[in-house]
Structure 1
Amino acid sequence: MSSALATPIRPTSSHADQEYKLLSPSVLDFVRELDLKFGAERVNLLSKRKARQMEFDNGKLPDFLESTAWIRASEWRVAPPPAELLDRRVEITGPPERKMVINALNCGAKVFMADFEDSSSPTWENCIAGQQSLYEANCRQISFTSPEGKQYRLNDQPVVLFVRPRGLHMDEVHCKDCHGAVSASLFDFGVYFANNYEVLRQRGSAPYFYIPKLESHEEARLWNNIFNFAEDKVGLKRGTIRATALIETITAAFEMDEILYELREHSVGLNCGRWDYIFSFIKKFSARPDFILPQRGDVTMDQPFLASYVRLLIDTCHRRGAHAMGGMAAQIPIKNDPEVNREAIDRVRKDKLREVMAGHDGTWVAHPGLVSTAMDVFNEYMPGPNQIDRPATKHEPVTAADLLTIPNGHITDLGFRRNVDISLMYLESWLRGQGCVPIYNLMEDAATAEISRAQLWQWNHYGVHTDDGRLVDTERIRAAIQSFLADKKKELGDGGFAKAKFSRAAEILLMLSTGSFREFLTTELYGDLH
């Protein structure tokens, strides 16, 4: 291995062969170059995030930038999408786990987004195994045999693959250069790009990405520069790499035009990352008692601040010739209760109908069993490959006040307890290396769990009362945690409970619910994985 980049620190014996193939000296040198060239700017941008957060803590609210008004006012369009990305009406997302990769690529959607971020617990084993699975998928050689002996292989027409690397805020501690741990974003991007660009080029395709957690157009510019560097390094035509930026922070919502402009050679649209967006709304205004949100179940897409966000994203994308992608409905098929399953499917159908009628060009599902539901809705109401060039809807421009309207709703005892339960079950699963978990008939990932734990902190910090008049404070949270743990001990038995990680999850949740607000649960927990 290259002496310039020491990795891994602790290779896993079960994946030693994969590490050797994926992390060749040339791949590691490429990751090193990325980190040396872009690492300092990444650190600078993270510092700007902190400075901006201090402004919000001191009472400032976000607004559209005066310095970039010329971008919003001028006429320009992003590069046209390649042919295989014209129609993205249904995309499935999930972790890059081998069985999931095969099922997702076979499911009949238009795109599979392999997610190293919110739906993947970033153990070293998961990161390496995920990269190996994607490489084999691109080579059309991936297979899997279940413990029961069931065989899984790709069909003749797998869907288009996108990859979501981890966000700029995360490090990869198993991969270090002279400055310390490299950026997890650059590691995920660099390893995937270096191992896959040639096989994709030979097949007439290209590396496609989703960019997570953007907070400004300056961060989009960094990613655009990374793409340019990678293309130039291996002799790809400028604009070969394509990326969809997730608008999942409140600050990015005020810079949609600017983000598309920075990425215009590489852009294939923006996506409504609704769950992270709600979390961002809580996080960015955590110092303000006038920004308390109701329980998670009441923060629906018909709330004015979310409806305005959707309208602005669609209008912005279509004006610029870009795809406006819808978000994730968290429901999943429920096999053991037909009536509850029908209700869940109906909620998904209504959500997708809302999206297509609003003007979205595609949507997300989390389970192969929901692809046909979403596809039927978009097939009926979107006969063309997308809605980019449909006549614009006439309405008043979206204002800053529209994006910052506080939603109405309740805070019930059930909503409080659900937040405790979801937080504990998700944290425990994440600590065991599973980042995508079905809980209460919904698919929970880091973004949805962030909402639950952030609401507990917010309600505790500001002394909110639930609808029954009881105060949410640290003691109530602690009592709810202890009640949950007692129930789990009965359910699992002493031996099963000892093997699980609920005790550690309880410690973490109490920490996240008290004291100062922690920015990301994933960074708080990352040290537990290695």
Structure 2
Amino acid sequence: MSAVAAFATAQPTPADAPATLGIALTTQLAGQSALLPAGVLALLVSLHRAVEPERQRRLQARRERQAFFDGGGLPDFRTDTAAIRNDDWRVAAIPEALQDRRVEITGPTDPKMVINALNSGAKVFMADFEDSTAPAWRNLLAGQQALIGAVRGDLTHTGPSVDGKPGKQYALRPLAEQAVLIVRPRGWHLDEKHVRIDGQPLAGGLFDAAVFAFHNARTLMCRQRGPYFYLPKLQSMEEAALWETALSHIEGMLGLPHGQIKVTVLIETLPAVFEMDEILHALRDRIVGLNCGRWDYIFSYIKTFRKHADKVLPERGQVTMTQPFLKAYSELLIQTCHRRGAHAMGGMAAQIPINHDAAANEQAMARVRADKLREVTAGHDGTWVAHPALIPVAQAIFDAHMPGPNQHAVLRRDVRVGRDELIAAPTGTITRAGFEGNVEVCVRYLAAWLDGNGCVPIHHLMEDAATAEISRSQLWQWLHVPGQHLDDGTAIDLPLLDATLAALPAKLGDSSALPGGARIEEAIGLLAELSRRDELTDFLTLPAYDRLA
């Protein structure tokens, strides 16, 4: 049995060994000691002690800023950093391997996904420990082991046998034919409860980044392919500076040159869009671009304005990138990045091919083509897709309109975006189908997540934590901001939610065929509980994490 299979099937055993170097692993799985040897543990201890006090200060600053918004305050550009925005400076040179990123595919870190994504024909594969991975301990260890095998070049996977016939074999293509690997660690808000240092949980993102770098950095550096990371959920330049501290510390501990680790930052929170110059500046020795993380950005808009009656968004399907506040966000990101010599990456196309309905599939692909055409003509340097079948669709659009490796020369001096454009709420409606759709997506995703699956196809869209968060936070806001109604006049209240939840199991039918189907009732109960709370829970994955092994 491979180490990956061992992580996936072994049962936890009590961690009765004494803590070493101030570190304790609360769960033990087969194969764990080889992945987390003494050198990794020493790196984690050193990194935690260097970063944790400031991480806690940054998380407290988030709470204080949200209290300001809850009291009626509005986000805006900072006065104390005007000099950074006004001065002329550029980020460090972008490595050759990252010059052309016209199509990137994203997904979780299981071996089959890693192999298929690296072989997919995309320029980049973002291996995701955050929104696409339920952070059960076995998933995290198996994901790290899969990435070690991918970097080493010997990762394989055997599919399940069918009718007594051997399962399909998966193997990597030669390196020159593979996508460039970028790893997304978890955000600052997420703990890794299985690793405690000096009695405190380690930051989940530090575990993800440090373990990957320890095992793979030297090989990637020799190949001029990294290591590279995507940094999620930042809200300020100080949080970016904290990643600079952490990554510089990893480089120092592993004997890497300063700036060897390169990063792309997702602009997926509303506060961060007002500090894009500052975030680029804080990471200027290693950052290569910013990305329009559109789904989390919509979630952040809802969360930021959760108590603002004049900023309640319509149902999710009506909040598209053509809405003025999202168009402003996208174009300001392009302008900011290209002024500083950085990539401006576009957002995710979450569609999945509809193989049984050619007409519906063509409609879905037409939406993808229109979205990618909007991105490339606006000046984006690349885009994301969630399914391999969308790669040729997106690439054809970018190839036709972006003959070079990127569009840094498109400076978008015509863009004039201020605070009001970035926070303007779109008009729209909340239909009964939209309300019920939010309930279904949230319950089905949460059930799958609790069962260990962080990336779930629902109604021909690839749903991850970000899209589930839109659904969950919209439900809370519609229920708690007075005066919200469906477009047929029905009041949005707890009886409506309860009735929708009660009807859902019958609507879903045989739940055994659904990812996490055995946990549907648990997911319904958790959504009902979170929706009733007086305050919007910051992240769905925080209370749900307590239920993961």
Percent identity between the aligned chains? 50
| Correspondent of 1:436 among 455, 460, 463 | 455
Q: How many residues align?
A: 523
Larger deviation, residues 449-458 vs 330-339: 330-339
Query: Do the aligned residues in 2 keep the contact of 1:96 with 1:115 (CA within 8 Å)?
Result: yes
Query: Do the aligned residues in 2 keep the contact of 1:93 with 1:115 (CA within 8 Å)?
Result: yes
Query: CA offset at residue 185 of structure 1?
Result: 1.0
- Indicate yes or no: 2:28 matched with 1:11: yes
Query: CA offset at residue 393 of structure 1?
Result: 2.9
Please give the alpha-carbon distance, in whole angstroms, between the structure 2 residues aligned to 1:506 and 1:443: 20
Aligned to 1:347: 367
- Indicate yes or no: 2:127 matched with 1:100: no
Query: Do the aligned residues in 1 keep the contact of 2:448 with 2:515 (CA within 8 Å)?
Result: no
Please give the alpha-carbon distance, in whole angstroms, between the structure 2 residues aligned to 1:364 and 1:499: 29
Alignment-mate amino acid for residue 438 of structure 1: P
Alignment-mate amino acid for residue 424 of structure 2: T
Specify the SS of the correspondent of 2:106. Answer: strand
| Correspondent of 1:139 among 144, 152, 158 | 152
Aligned to 1:451: 470
Query: Under a length normalisation based on structure 1, what TM-score does the superposition of the two structures give?
Result: 0.96
Please give the alpha-carbon distance, in whole angstroms, between the structure 2 residues aligned to 1:178 and 1:492: 43
Aligned to 1:322: 342
Aligned to 2:10: none
| Correspondent of 1:65 among 78, 88, 94 | 78
Query: Do the aligned residues in 1 keep the contact of 2:103 with 2:124 (CA within 8 Å)?
Result: yes
Q: 1:511 to 1:393 in 2, by over 3 A?
A: same
Q: CA RMSD in A?
A: 1.5
Post-superposition CA distance 1:402-429 (Å, at most 9, x none): 0010011111111011001111110111
Aligned to 2:164: none
Specify the SS of the correspondent of 2:256. Answer: coil
Specify the SS of the correspondent of 1:93. Answer: strand
Please give the alpha-carbon distance, in whole angstroms, between the structure 2 residues aligned to 1:234 and 1:496: 44
Aligned to 2:305: 285
Aligned to 2:314: 294
Query: Do the aligned residues in 1 keep the contact of 2:332 with 2:415 (CA within 8 Å)?
Result: no
Please give the alpha-carbon distance, in whole angstroms, between the structure 1 residues aligned to 2:413 and 2:259: 33
Aligned to 1:311: 331
Q: 1:5 to 1:432 in 2, by over 3 A?
A: farther
Larger deviation, residues 183-192 vs 228-237: 228-237
Task: Give matches, 1:354-393, under 5 Å.
Answer: 354-390=374-410, 392-393=411-412
Alignment-mate amino acid for residue 421 of structure 2: D
Aligned to 2:430: 411
For structure 2, the residue ranges without an aligned partner over 5 or more in a row are 1-16, 162-166
Please give the alpha-carbon distance, in whole angstroms, between the structure 2 residues aligned to 1:76 and 1:95: 36
Query: CA offset at residue 442 of structure 1?
Result: 0.7
Aligned to 2:58: 45
Please give the alpha-carbon distance, in whole angstroms, between the structure 1 residues aligned to 2:99 and 2:414: 27
| Correspondent of 2:538 among 519, 522, 525 | 519
Q: 1:247 to 1:492 in 2, by over 3 A?
A: closer
Query: CA offset at residue 179 of structure 1?
Result: 3.1
Larger deviation, residues 395-404 vs 160-169: 395-404
Specify the SS of the correspondent of 1:500. Answer: helix
Specify the SS of the correspondent of 1:483. Answer: helix
- Indicate yes or no: 2:102 matched with 1:89: yes
Aligned to 1:111: 124
Aligned to 1:424: 443
Aligned to 1:504: 522
Aligned to 1:120: 133
Aligned to 1:185: 205
| Correspondent of 2:501 among 455, 470, 481 | 481
Aligned to 1:153: 171
Query: CA offset at residue 58 of structure 1?
Result: 1.0
| Correspondent of 1:206 among 212, 223, 226 | 226
Alignment-mate amino acid for residue 42 of structure 1: R
Alignment-mate amino acid for residue 273 of structure 1: G
Specify the SS of the correspondent of 1:529. Answer: coil
Query: Do the aligned residues in 1 keep the contact of 2:133 with 2:454 (CA within 8 Å)?
Result: yes
Alignment-mate amino acid for residue 55 of structure 2: R
Alignment-mate amino acid for residue 38 of structure 2: P
Alignment-mate amino acid for residue 4 of structure 1: L
Specify the SS of the correspondent of 2:28. Answer: coil
Query: Under a length normalisation based on structure 2, what TM-score does the superposition of the two structures give?
Result: 0.93
Aligned to 2:357: 337
Post-superposition CA distance 1:384-412 (Å, at most 9, x none): 0000123x234252100000100111111
Alignment-mate amino acid for residue 334 of structure 1: I
Query: CA offset at residue 280 of structure 1?
Result: 0.3
Please give the alpha-carbon distance, in whole angstroms, between the structure 1 residues aligned to 2:542 and 2:471: 17
Aligned to 2:285: 265
Query: CA offset at residue 498 of structure 1?
Result: 11
Please give the alpha-carbon distance, in whole angstroms, between the structure 2 residues aligned to 1:498 and 1:345: 28
Alignment-mate amino acid for residue 205 of structure 1: R
Query: CA offset at residue 335 of structure 1?
Result: 1.5
Alignment-mate amino acid for residue 181 of structure 1: P
Q: 1:180 to 1:460 in 2, by over 3 A?
A: same
Please give the alpha-carbon distance, in whole angstroms, between the structure 1 residues aligned to 2:308 and 2:224: 51
Query: Do the aligned residues in 1 keep the contact of 2:23 with 2:45 (CA within 8 Å)?
Result: no
Query: CA offset at residue 492 of structure 1?
Result: 3.9
Query: CA offset at residue 289 of structure 1?
Result: 1.2
Query: Do the aligned residues in 2 keep the contact of 1:172 with 1:182 (CA within 8 Å)?
Result: yes
Query: CA offset at residue 5 of structure 1?
Result: 4.8
Aligned to 1:31: 44
Please give the alpha-carbon distance, in whole angstroms, between the structure 2 residues aligned to 1:439 and 1:420: 12
Aligned to 1:78: 91
Please give the alpha-carbon distance, in whole angstroms, between the structure 2 residues aligned to 1:178 and 1:68: 36
Please give the alpha-carbon distance, in whole angstroms, between the structure 1 residues aligned to 2:313 and 2:212: 38
Please give the alpha-carbon distance, in whole angstroms, between the structure 1 residues aligned to 2:90 and 2:23: 42
Please give the alpha-carbon distance, in whole angstroms, between the structure 1 residues aligned to 2:352 and 2:507: 25
Post-superposition CA distance 1:19-40 (Å, at most 9, x none): 1221000011101111011011
Query: Do the aligned residues in 2 keep the contact of 1:91 with 1:109 (CA within 8 Å)?
Result: yes
| Correspondent of 1:245 among 265, 274, 297 | 265
Aligned to 1:163: 183
Query: CA offset at residue 202 of structure 1?
Result: 2.8
